[in-house]
Amino acid sequence: MSTLSPAYNRDRLLQALVLAGLALVWEASSRAGWVHPFLLPPLSDVLTRLLTDMQSGAVFVDLALTLYRALTGFAIAAVLAVPLGILMARRRGVQWFFDPLISIGFPMPKIAFVPIFILWFDIYDTSKVIMITFSCFFPIVTATYSGTSHIDKWPLWSARALGASEGELLREIILPLASPSILTGLQIALPVGMITTIVTEMLMGGSGVGGAMIAAGRFADSVGVFAGIIEIAILGMVVIRGLDWLRARMLVWHPENRAH
């Protein structure tokens, strides 16, 4: 097992110092009156609110609901988008049919579909999860299609010459060689899903971090709003780091991990 390099440890230390410096500036600017405490409440007050919410259990309920919606929509999108991306790269008819739809849908602001999904479904979890799935789908299918369509043809030709079936080609060659691109698409889609989750919770209301933030905003509770921002930052960092860890484990054979 490889050990962390001194340069890696130095970078982590510098990042921690930068975060500590920003925290001190935040606290000092609010306490000194450089910024009105209503617009930027002291960091210590925000952390105290977080601790109070943790003791009551409210923060864990909101985080669990937000994480459930984000990961459910993300997982559904991955299950749909990865096979479709592979089929688009492997079957000209599938690519001919779906490419215009994906080309139109990918750059479109997905949040514009929120009123439509509310009309079609409801204002509860169903429409939120569908909205998250819709937002995550396009980065994943695009990355999967790109990674699969750019696979070197020589391994495929060689395997076919040795009598490999389509299923064996998929398992032994296509998925391993396309997996870096697929995982990149997943890593792009997950933050998109987190953002969409928070926005839909704010727009549709109800429980969750976004719903709690918008409720705090309605009551002019700026400390509660900033507490929600810190909750989102921590949750996003944990989820994204988890996906980074998963990528490193799945691509342990890949040259991108040889330097670590």
Instruction: Write out pLDDT tens, residues 19-61.
Output: 899 989 988 988 888 888 888 898 899 999 999 988 888 889 9
Q: What angle do CA 131, 137, 138 make, to 5 degrees?
A: 115
Contact status, residue 160 vs residue 169, Cβ threshold 8 Å: yes
Contact status, residue 199 vs residue 213, Cβ threshold 8 Å: no
Q: What angle do CA 11, 16, 22 make, to 5 degrees?
A: 125
CA–CA distance, 236 with 198 (Å, rounded to integer)? 11
CA–CA distance, 50 with 48 (Å, rounded to integer)? 5
Instruction: Write out pLDDT tens, residues 202-226.
Output: 888 778 888 889 988 888 889 989 9
259 phi/psi in degrees, rounded to 5 = -85, -10
Whether residue 83 has pLDDT greater than 70: yes
Percent share of the chain, pLDDT over 90: 32
Whether residue 247 has pLDDT greater than 70: yes
pLDDT band at 112 (very low <50, low <70, confident <90, very high): confident
Tell the residue number behind the tokens 């001190």, with chain if given: 24
> How does the average pLDDT of the chain come out, rounded?
86
Segment 231-239 long-range contacts (CB within 8 Å, at least 24 positions apart): 231/50, 231/59, 231/62, 231/63, 232/194, 232/198, 235/63, 235/66, 235/67, 235/194, 235/209, 236/191, 236/194, 239/67, 239/70, 239/71, 239/190, 239/194
Which residue from 125, 119, 81, 123 is spatially nearest to 102, judged by alpha carbons?
81
Which residue from 11, 46, 12, 49 is spatially nearest to 26, judged by alpha carbons?
46
- Looking at the domain that runs over 42-257, which CATH code has it been given? 1.10.3720.10
Model's pTM, two decimal places?
A: 0.85
The type of residue at 203 is: L
